[in-house]
Chains A and B, each alone.
Chain A
Amino acid sequence: MKDAIAMFYQYSRVTMKSWFQYRVDALLRSLAVFLREATGIISIILVFTKFDVSGINNWNINELVFLYSFLFSTYGVLIIFFTGLLDFGKTVQDGTFDRFLLRPRGVLFQIIASDADWFAAIGHGTLGIVLFSYATSKIEVIWNLGNILYLASAFVGAILIQGAMFLFFASLSFYFVKASNVHGVLFWNLRNIAGYPLSIFPKILQYMLMYVAPFAFVNYFPAQFLLRNDDIVNYPDIYLYLTPILGIVMYFCAYCFWRVAMKRYKSTGN
């Protein structure tokens, strides 16, 4: 384990070094990611400033910011570990994957360690932290031990849920060449929806967000656990508690699928 951490550190150092060859570019990149991701919430804030609306389905602006912050803080951590899986189809197609197979370490470990997108992590993470601190200072949440523990475990669970989706689609790349593209479209579009209260969308989208790509458990239900807004009556109570367990189960299943799928791999050769 110690060895693994040391290697992860080395890998990250090398990636960082290569990126910081161009310092201004590195800074600009983080800023660009930060601004790009903030666009959605800035739009909402502007609309709320212009019109005196009480909220969207009883969610006021601070609660919406809180909901949003979850999505970004978890992604900030996620992208440190799972960048390599984001464009995995290409890795399989151009044969780079062979390199991982030849080295004396776990394949998944190498993929995770060798490619951490620190700029996206900084961009998303900072946004998440800024929004989270702002929102928590405005909304009334009782910070007792139970809530803090829940939040911490939901945070890990949310990362695992998204990580499992990454891993699942990466595994699919062994079967279908285009799996990465589908991943991109599905993941980003559904994630965009997850920025807003689940209850404003048509039923079919709500089901997709709960049972197909369960983003609802990444931010909506954890936020509802603390806020208990009225629209929660539409969903079973148990859903509020599921995030940590679902994270572990989904990640475990995705990992098993990964092991099975990898057996199918035949090199593309050169």
Chain B
Amino acid sequence: MTNKPLGNVYVAFAKKRFLSSMAYRFNHWMTILSSVFSVFIFFNLYRALYYGNTELDGITLSMVATNLIISFIIGDAFAMDDDFLRNKINNGTIANEFLRPVNFKLRILAEDLGQTIFNLIFRSGPAFLITVLWIGMEPPKSSGHLLLSMIALIFGFLVCWNLSFIVQSLAFWIINVWSISTIKGVLFSLLSGCILPLWFLPDAVRTIASFTPFESIYFGTVEIYLGLVNEREIVAIYCKQWIWIVLLYLIGDFLWKHGQKKLIVQGG
């Protein structure tokens, strides 16, 4: 047996997930089609809304298209399986997980990362090309802005992942996390700017959104990419993202630790 450092285990989990995603090609194409379609529907809707106006409150239609493509097409790659833990609890295989010399949480993160990288290349990639050719997209303000916005996107992934982990951990208390996960999805659609750009929210709702983690997932990326914010505001965006990452992590950790004690695995 070769003596590999333990870190490689997580790489292996990520790789496993990456490879198993390759197996379902048909569903894969259908997913791409669906996201392209969604963007297309909303783009048409906003275009009809802009009818006769070149801009609404300083926001042009092509900025809206850029927002849709970044948050919907690229953000769509963020793969979080809210049901992952619940499935393991329901069929009892969670018992095996605890026996393995692997940190289960890191393992979930590794798998989700593997899936996300797969999605970025094979799902968002084609969808990105199709939508950019179809509806067009603003170029980034500068290459520096592009780089900084990518950093915000990575932080956004972590916010998103920690949120998902909280929902997953609820499976220790709730039999079916589907409802919670769906409600989370609704808040996501309304407050993260993915289908409804945050510029289009009434001021009161916009303020509410700024106090939720949803705002810290994609919107910072969009703002930085388009160059709508200055250096200080970029730092503020990063800081806010990290506040959410830490806060959500602590909540998730708390639920995880207490949930484990509650866990009863039946049968053998």
User: Quick one: CB contact mask for A178-216 with B, threshold 8 Å, 1 for yes?
Assistant: 100110110011001100110011100000000000000
- With A185-B33, A200-B45 known as contacts, the answer to whether A46 contacts B174 (CB < 8 A) is no
> In the bound complex, do residue B34 and residue A43 qualify as a contact, i.e. CB atoms below 8 Å apart?
no
Establish whether residues A35 and B186, one from each chain, have CB atoms under 8 Å apart when the complex forms: yes
A56's partner among B26, B48, B178 (CB-CB below 8 A) is B48
Residues of A within 8 A of B101 (CB): none
Q: Please tell me the number of chain B residues within 8 Å of chain A, measured between CB atoms.
A: 35
| Binary CB contact string for chain B from 157 to 194 against chain A (1 if under 8 A, 0 otherwise) | 00000000000000000111011101101100110000
Whether B260 sits at the interface, judged by CB under 8 Å, is no
Report whether A196 and B41 are in contact in the complex, using a CB–CB cutoff of 8 Å: yes
- Chain B's nearest CB lies how many Å from the CB of A33? 7
- Which residues from chain B contact A33 at a C-beta distance below 8 Å? 182
The docked-state distance in angstroms from the alpha carbon of A188 to that of B38 is 10
A residues 38-72 near B (Cβ < 8 Å) are: 38-39, 42-44, 46-47, 49-51, 53, 56-57
Instruction: State the Cβ distance, A130 to closest chain B Cβ, in Å.
Output: 16
Q: What's the least CB distance linking A24 to chain B, in Å?
A: 8
CB-CB < 8 A to B38: which residues of A?
189, 192
Q: Does A31 contact B (CB under 8 A)?
A: yes
Tell me whether A185 and B26 are in contact in the complex, defined as CB-CB below 8 angstroms, given that A32-B182, A39-B186 are known contacts: no
| Best-surrounded residue of B41, B49, B179 (most CB of chain A within 10 A) | B179
A51 to chain B, nearest CB (A): 5
A28 is an interface residue with CB less than 8 A from chain B: yes
State in angstroms the CA–CA spacing of A197 and B49 once bound together.
12
Question: Is B248 interfacial (CB 8 A cutoff)?
Answer: no
State the Cβ distance, A211 to closest chain B Cβ, in Å: 18
Residue B57 lies at the interface, judged by CB distance under 8 Å to chain A: yes
Q: Which of B121-129, B196-204, B215-223 contacts A (4 or more CB under 8 A)?
A: B196-204
List A contacts of B183 (CB < 8 A): 28, 31-32, 35-36
B34 to chain A, nearest CB (A): 6
Docked complex Cα distance between A39 and B175 (Å): 25
User: Is there contact, CB below 8 Å, between A22 and B176?
Assistant: yes
A36 contacts B185, C-beta separation under 8 Å: yes
| Bound form: Cα–Cα A76–B205 in Å | 30
Chain B: residues with CB nearer than 8 A to chain A?
Answer: 26-27, 30, 33-34, 37-38, 41, 44-45, 47-49, 51, 56-57, 174-176, 178-180, 182-183, 185-186, 189-190, 195-196, 200-203, 205
A and B contact pairs by CB, cutoff 8 A, 8 listed: A43-B189, A56-B45, A57-B51, A185-B34, A189-B33, A196-B48, A200-B48, A202-B44
